[in-house]
């Protein structure tokens, strides 16, 4: 039988707010994985991801990402997205993920994800993204609604992983191409700028990684499927589970065995074996001479018994939304600390001038927020527009420079009010009072 979430030990609500020893974590390899807060977490997510998260957190420093930035590549109702995000956190904890051992956080709470995305965008050719299988599939189904976010999805996924120096990334079969893309991007960046990124390894469990739809056994079971009868959600009531299994697609005949020519019953046998922990051959032998009806009835009972403890723990945990927010806030602090170190190395590698925060992190020096660090000399008086342009003057810019130099001192006053670094290219952009 699949290890019960209760075997994780301790009260999950207490574990969610306890703080572990950070020094102990540093000697452990790091595991990074994530799920989009879309649809309904279902038994396939437990079998393919959450079960392995619980196992790996005992031996790995763990970062568990709620990928809400990825989620909006498909239109989302804002209220539903917020509700599901908290629901997923509660289900993580109910399934045995320990917020003391691991870091649970929202992608949108860590700005470094999108900051690194931009840098990586500048080293990834468009052709590589156009060849991604999932993108091509979605273009083929609905080309009119494809947008840049969906096109750029693999680069953001690469940023998600590389920011944390992950040693191990659990992925399903459908994400192997994205994982290999991430490794390729890391190697390419390191080739250009030095050894900045650790090259992560994919972790694909040998069993229980691919359950198919109950109504469409030729397609992978998905929590975002528009047909809810295609999956068993972790929060489905017992009567709903019984109905979904009873109406699940089988095949002609009545023999209960795994066979490529019988995808429906083969999928149900896989589900049975995954939840019970039994060998497929033992299941075959038990149901020799028995029909689909009895098999489905037993499978439904097995799933209901398995989901019961998860649902009970979920009800208790979800009743305390303040605690769930605290889990996410603490997770965001841990994730920001780790990711900002990586981002700082990236920025230095590509030639960006470090800011005060970068200096503090790399020197190890602590200082109060109101202390001024003389790390980068800053001119007392900002240069006027024509003075700044003179350092890159060419024949084509002489007329512009001459016109700018002829302006009154009001221009300099405008520049002082606007900015000291001059990211404005025209007087109209720079005029703050108009």
Residues tagged active-site: 138, 220, 223
Question: What's the rounded Cα separation, in Å, for the pair 266 and 246?
Answer: 15
The pair phi, psi for residue 104, each rounded to 5°, is: -105, 125
CA 424 to chain centre: 36
**Using CA of residue 40, residue 41, residue 44, residue 49, what is the dihedral sign?**
positive
34 pairs with which residues across the strands? 65
Do the Cβ atoms of 93 and 99 come closer than 8 Å?
A: yes
Burial class (CB in 10 A: 0-12, 13-18, 19+), 287: buried
Using the CB atoms, write b or e for 183-216: b if 16+ within 10 Å: bebbebbeeebeebbbebebbbeeebbbbbbbbb
Do the Cβ atoms of 200 and 161 come closer than 8 Å?
A: yes
Closest CA to 107 of 180, 171, 156: 156
Closest CA to 65 of 163, 150, 172, 135: 163
H helix and E strand count, the chain: 22, 5
Question: What's the rounded Cα separation, in Å, for the pair 401 and 343?
Answer: 37
Closest CA to 91 of 151, 9, 5, 168: 5
Please give the helix or strand (H or E) that residue 168 lies within, else none. Answer: strand 168-170
What is the strand order of the sheet 201-203 is part of?
102-106, 61-66, 30-35, 168-170, 201-203
Question: What's the rounded Cα separation, in Å, for the pair 261 and 255?
Answer: 12
């Amino acid at each position: 039988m699949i290890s019960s979430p209760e075997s994780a030990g301790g009260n999950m609500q207490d574990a969610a707010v306890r703080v572990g020893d950070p020094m102990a974590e540093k000697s452990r390899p790091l595991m990074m994985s994530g799920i989009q807060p879309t649809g309904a977490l279902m038994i396939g997510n437990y079998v393919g991801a959450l079960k392995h998260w619980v196992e790996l957190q005992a031996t790995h420093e763990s970062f568990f990402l709620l990928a809400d930035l990825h989620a909006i590549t498909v239109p989302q109702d804002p209220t539903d997205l917020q509700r599901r995000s908290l629901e997923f956190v509660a289900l993580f904890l109910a399934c045995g993920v320990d917020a003391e051992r691991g870091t649970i956080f929202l992608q949108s709470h860590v700005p470094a994800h999108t900051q690194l995305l931009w840098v990586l965008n500048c080293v990834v050719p468009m052709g590589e993204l156009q060849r991604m299988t999932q993108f091509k599939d979605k273009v083929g189904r609905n080309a009119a609604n494809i947008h840049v976010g969906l096109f750029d999805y693999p680069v953001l996924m690469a940023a998600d992983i590389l920011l944390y120096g992950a040693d191990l990334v659990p992925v399903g079969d459908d994400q192997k191409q994205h994982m290999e893309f991430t490794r390729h991007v890391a190697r390419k960046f390191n080739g250009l700028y030095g050894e900045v990124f650790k090259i992560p390894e994919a972790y694909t469990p040998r069993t229980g990684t691919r359950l198919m739809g109950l109504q469409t056994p030729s397609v992978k079971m998905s929590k975002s499927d528009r047909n809810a009868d295609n999956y068993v959600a972790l929060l489905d009531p017992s009567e709903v589970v019984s109905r979904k299994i009873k109406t699940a697609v089988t095949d002609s005949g009545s023999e209960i065995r795994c066979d490529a020519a019988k995808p429906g019953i083969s999928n149900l046998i896989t589900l049975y074996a995954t939840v019970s922990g039994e060998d497929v051959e033992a299941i075959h032998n038990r149901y020799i001479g028995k029909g689909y009806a009895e098999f489905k009835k037993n499978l439904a009972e097995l799933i209901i018994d398995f989901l019961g403890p998860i649902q009970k723990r979920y009800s208790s945990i979800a009743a305390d939304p303040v605690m769930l927010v605290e889990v996410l806030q603490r997770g965001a602090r841990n994730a920001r600390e780790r990711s900002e170190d990586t981002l700082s190395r990236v920025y230095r590698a590509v030639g960006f001038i470090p800011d005060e925060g970068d200096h503090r992190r790399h020197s190890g020096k602590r200082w109060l927020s109101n202390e001024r660090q003389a790390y980068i000399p800053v001119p007392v008086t900002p240069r006027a527009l024509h003075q700044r342009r003179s350092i890159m003057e060419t024949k084509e810019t002489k007329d512009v420079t001459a016109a700018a130099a002829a302006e009154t001192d009001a221009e300099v006053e405008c520049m002082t009010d606007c900015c000291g670094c001059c990211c404005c290219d025209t007087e109209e952009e720079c005029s703050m009072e108009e």
